Structure 1
Amino acid sequence: MNAPVTTATISPVPTGYFRWEPEEDEFLICRAVRDETHDVKTFVMAPRHARQFEFVSGQFMTFEFEIDGETIQRCYTISSPPSRRDTVSITVKRVPGGPVSNWLHDEFKPGMMLKATVPMGEFTWSGMQDTKYLFLSGGSGITPMMAMTRAAYDLALISDIEFVHCARSPDDIIFRDELNFMGRRNHWIKPTFICEKDSPFERWSGIRGRLDRAKLEVICPDYLERLVFVCGPAPFMKAAKDLFRDAGYDMSRYHQESFNFDSFTEEAQEQIAEATEAITTDVKVFQLEFTKTGRTVECPEGITVMEAARRAGIRVPSSCSKGLCGTCKSKVTSGKVDMKHGGGIRQREVDNGMALLCCSKPLTDLVIDR
């Protein structure tokens, strides 16, 4: 895959504080690429002109990629802590056949640039008053909890953190050395790794298998007293949620995060069901034409373009389903929508006919460039 290579120089750091504003400079320049495991890399980025980032641990950013003539948006959680404000890092696992992850691993080098939006998201411990936490992660779901743990370490917070990470093998443990280092230097941070199998050159001597209630009770006997954050693949999170619910945990204190490009939200499913019933009444039904796929689908009044498209079997990339990330941003070449977004699109993009399909409900028939 080929993408335009753009390089830039970085301005000297000025005296005083300047906040990064993507409306003024939407590009970030790659400063470093670090190998974390055999298929995971961290990309460290900074603004072209000396600025500092403002975000809270656990938030994500949306990046725009130009790959083989196609514009693709992807969300990546920030793996660096807000205590290191001059740069921001994302940690990406190579996905077989994934156009973006493979391009990042193979092509993205220091000096190259990417478009990015302001950090967003609500999966964070910011503002919470608890002092005892349990972080559960699987695979690359480690990144938001790593940002929180790094912040706790940098700021010497008195936060009791049980950090349990699940991986296929010792070779697949992301941030293994750094977590162990932080645990040795700060007794409030207690990492535990669970592996399903050995690596070719390392026999795993720690806890083996998959996370279950018995293992959790050994690792963290007081887990029911802790504030819980979970992130990882969908099956991992479902198993974790079932575990805590069955254990009688107060689920109002349970927090999870995942970017799933294929599943519906429960809210979206309910809205589709309601709209389906409404078709038999006097509710309007709009025609949505998708020019690139050559499909035209019906969209009952009151449901989003995204829901109607997926109901018809049209795959539209999405992530947050709340108008935050910008992954589903598309050009509406004809027609009007009612869009209630959460900040994932700039006003100048709206003025140019762009819309976030996950939070846009048609007011007329539409023609969409997708």
Structure 2
Amino acid sequence: MAQNINWSGKPWHESEPLECAMVVPDVADTATFTFRAPSGAWFDYQPGQFITLDLPVDPARGAAGNVQRTYTISSSPSRPLSISITVKAQPGSIGTRWMLDHLRPGMRLKAYGPGGLFSFHRHPAQKYLFISAGSGITPMMSMTTWAWDSGQMPDITFVHAARRPSAIIFRERLEQFANRVPGLRLRFTVKEPDPFRAWAGYQGRLSQIMLGLMAPDYLEREVFCCGPEPFMQSVREMLVSLGYNMDRYHQESFGAPARTVAEMPVHDDVVPDADSSASILFAASGVSATCSQTDTVLAVAKQSGLNIPSGCTFGLCGTCKVRKLSGDVHMVHNGGISEDEVAEGYILACCSVPIGHVSVEV
């Protein structure tokens, strides 16, 4: 039954505790917690922002047992009578595990915020590309819901990576949106399909080739990215190598959402410089060659009269795999090499460029 609530007509302030109104399970170890203000205050924030909850993880110890955890708001301010967060427990989770096991409707929590700079309201554009992985989908859900509720046709390509189809948070809700508006295009990729369930979508690590197929006009889109740091670093490297204007790239961190401009991370990603010199020693052949940081190992080998077997030449087939003996390379591949092989010192010659002096076993 619907409850009678005397809406106050004023915005919620963090001085008022939030009351849990509803808990909705999602995928494994994941649930959406919806809160409201006991006073009837409404919620005003930007889609993509976060709140911080004070969680009594050990109630027997009182306030001394509380921990504070930051969660992105998964609801939209276009629906201001409540506010929702969607949380997924990771190995070793403390606050999130407590929420999943103990937080129930009627309980009240101290909350701080909303805050954060990760919102497409701060970067208006005609076309957007949302890229997320795991629970990094939550701010994208908030922004997509706002776009849906705005009454204007959105132009959003929504790319999401998950372990398997059954782990895609909000999948049914997003598909309901996309089924009704052509301007929202969903592109999912998974590490592996669910057993005994056919999967017709993308499979494998998000790559340059995959991104080009998912969003052919990515150069025209404002990009928002959220997920684990290795995932976001991979996305940044892909976009840089594809010539994307990184001034239009925005990301949110799992661990430390930025509250102010000063807190926004400075990415120290390697960007090869065509004007910087490098050199490659092909150890087995005894050949040494100078080059620039944007020349691939494969191209330098061919120019030096050496043969490294190759196939696709864009990091997919793995034919040009060689062992690096020393030095550093910058490699942006499309799945033709495994993390274990990289750890053993192997590189793909077709998509590896030397940073300084490099020696390879050729």
TM-score bracket relative to the smaller structure: 0.5 to 0.7
Match of residue 13, structure 1, among 6, 11, 18:
6
Give the secondary structure class of the aligned counterpart of 2:179: helix
**Aligned residue for 2:116?**
121
CA distance in 2, matches of 1:267, 1:202: 42
- Following TM superposition, by how much is the alpha carbon of 1:204 offset from its aligned partner in structure 2, in angstroms? 2.0
CA distance in 2, matches of 1:152, 1:241: 25
**Aligned residue for 2:223?**
228
Counterparts in 2 of 1:77 and 1:268: CA distance versus 1, 3 Å: same
CA distance in 2, matches of 1:211, 1:266: 23
CA distance in 2, matches of 1:189, 1:145: 12
Counterparts in 2 of 1:202 and 1:268: CA distance versus 1, 3 Å: closer
Question: Which has the greater radius of gyration?
Answer: 2
Give a deviation string over 1:193-227, Cα, whole Å, max 9, x none.
11110113423221110111101111110001100
**Aligned residue for 2:285?**
none
Q: Is 1:135 aligned with 2:133?
A: no
8 Å contact kept, 2:227–2:254: no
**Aligned residue identity for 2:9:** Y
- Off by >4 Å, runs of 4+ in structure 1: 264-269
Give the secondary structure class of the aligned counterpart of 1:122: coil
Counterparts in 2 of 1:71 and 1:268: CA distance versus 1, 3 Å: farther
8 Å contact kept, 1:11–1:50: no
- Following TM superposition, by how much is the alpha carbon of 1:63 offset from its aligned partner in structure 2, in angstroms? 0.6
Give a deviation string over 1:221-274, Cα, whole Å, max 9, x none.
00011000000011110100100011111100000001326xx986799xxxxx
CA distance in 1, matches of 2:249, 2:177: 25
8 Å contact kept, 2:127–2:222: yes
**Aligned residue identity for 2:40:** A
8 Å contact kept, 1:171–1:199: yes
Match of residue 147, structure 1, among 134, 142, 145:
142
**Aligned residue for 1:207?**
202
- Following TM superposition, by how much is the alpha carbon of 1:99 offset from its aligned partner in structure 2, in angstroms? 1.2
**Aligned residue for 2:57?**
67
Q: Is 1:197 aligned with 2:192?
A: yes
Match of residue 79, structure 2, among 72, 76, 84:
84
CA distance in 1, matches of 2:142, 2:234: 23
Q: Is 1:102 aligned with 2:94?
A: no
Q: CA RMSD in A?
A: 2.1
Runs of at least 5 residues in structure 2 that lack an aligned partner in the other structure? 257-262, 269-362
CA distance in 2, matches of 1:268, 1:161: 25
8 Å contact kept, 1:163–1:191: yes
Give the secondary structure class of the aligned counterpart of 2:115: coil
- Following TM superposition, by how much is the alpha carbon of 1:192 offset from its aligned partner in structure 2, in angstroms? 1.2
**Aligned residue for 2:24?**
34
- Any residues of structure 2 matched to 1:1-370 within 5 Å, and which? 12-14=5-7, 17-23=9-15, 25=16, 27-68=17-58, 69=61, 70-260=65-255
- Following TM superposition, by how much is the alpha carbon of 1:97 offset from its aligned partner in structure 2, in angstroms? 2.5
What is the TM-score normalised by the length of structure 1?
0.66
What percent of counterpart residues are identical? Answer: 41
